[in-house]
Amino acid sequence: MLLAHDLVGSGAGPLVVLLHGLSGNRRTWDAIATELVGDGFRVAQLDLRGHGESGHGGTYNGAYNIVDDYATDVAETIRSLTDEPVILAGHSLGGVTTLAVGQTHPELVRALYCEDPPAFEGSAARRAESPAAGYFGAFVAKIREWQAEGASVAEVADVVGAQPDLSGLARQDRIGREAIEDIARGLLRFDPGAMEAAIVDDMWAGFDPLAPVSAPLFVLRADPAAGAVFIEDDVAPFLAAHPDAGVEMAAGEGHSIHESPEGRARFLETFRTFVAGLA
């Protein structure tokens, strides 16, 4: 499936392809993309299958699978955009998909950057303990309710924006009303079947976070105290499998590191350092 996308910038550097997280959409990267275009990159922001303006796949039938669907879609879209290897960066589900593309389509990637990827949540036991996956069932029900009732962007944004982070600050106060409304639009377009597939084993079948990748690899993980899904216990096995990878923690930042101004600065700092070190 070719994915809906925006392509911005005219720089001579390698194409940077950005992948959002589960239930998100490509608008989440607007501020990051602006910065990277200013750095001289061309940037593609993609809507994954079932998200934003991309096509839907189905429910509980293997049509929302990391390897067979998400990674394959991204690979097909990359081939439609460029003949050169890309720098692929993804948040959450997008980060896991980034790893999967590196494993299955190594010729397409020059480097891999992952933001707090739930790489080890392929087991039911791990998902049952996950701070993110724990609310998926209720979230799916709420999204279906909004969609069935024809809720407005403003109505959804009011609910999403009022959610507090661990500091007690409302999400809207942390990232702004415009960003919250982009999230709301995405939720009204989102296929909840994609999240249902993440609750069971459908999405994870065939994905191994320890499978080798040949491209340079970096993980920016969230703070465990703020709801990280790439946790401290993941670091040692990940580095044992990927000994040349870089792993750093964004202190004080939750799962969606790039959303807040402080987290965005940390994302850009580590991304620029990582890319500057590529051969």
- CA quadruple 107, 40, 114, 210: dihedral, nearest 10: 30
Indicate whether 208 pLDDT > 70: yes
> What is the model's pLDDT at position 169?
73
Confidence band for 102, pLDDT divided at 50, 70 and 90: very high
> What is the model's pLDDT at position 166?
57
Distance from the Cα of residue 247 to its chain's centroid: 17
Indicate whether 48 pLDDT > 80: yes
Confidence band for 227, pLDDT divided at 50, 70 and 90: confident
pLDDT in tens, 120-160: 999 888 888 887 788 899 999 999 999 999 999 999 999 99
Distance from the Cα of residue 81 to its chain's centroid: 20
User: How deeply is 252 buried, as exposed, middle or buried, from its count of CB atoms within 10 A (0-12, 13-18, 19+)?
Assistant: middle
H helix or E strand, kind and range, residue 193: helix 193-199
Indicate whether 231 pLDDT > 90: yes
Distance from the Cα of residue 120 to its chain's centroid: 15
Strands (DSSP E) along 185-245, which ranges? 217-222
48-52, 62-66, 156-160: least confident range: 62-66
Indicate whether 59 pLDDT > 60: no
Strands (DSSP E) along 34-128, which ranges? 42-46, 86-91, 109-115
Mean pLDDT of 97-118: 98
The pLDDT mean for the chain works out to 93
Which residues lie across from 141 on neighbouring strands?
none
Mean pLDDT of 222-236: 94
Q: Which residues make Cβ contacts (< 8 Å) with residue 223, sequence separation at least 6?
A: 249, 250, 251, 252, 253, 254
> What is the model's pLDDT at position 61?
57
State percent of the chain over pLDDT 70: 96
Confidence band for 83, pLDDT divided at 50, 70 and 90: very high
Let me know how long the chain is.
Answer: 279
> What is the model's pLDDT at position 163?
86
Classify 202 as helix, strand or coil.
helix
> What is the model's pLDDT at position 13?
80
CA dist., res. 67 & res. 228, Å (int): 23
> What is the model's pLDDT at position 73?
97
Indicate whether 279 pLDDT > 70: no
Q: Are 246 and 239 in contact (CB under 8 A)?
A: no
Q: Are 130 and 121 in contact (CB under 8 A)?
A: yes
Confidence band for 174, pLDDT divided at 50, 70 and 90: confident
> What is the model's pLDDT at position 125?
87
Mean pLDDT of 175-204: 93
Contacts 24+ apart (CB under 8 A), 70-73: 70/97, 70/100, 71/97, 71/100, 71/101, 71/103, 71/104, 71/105, 72/1, 72/104, 73/1, 73/2, 73/3, 73/48, 73/49
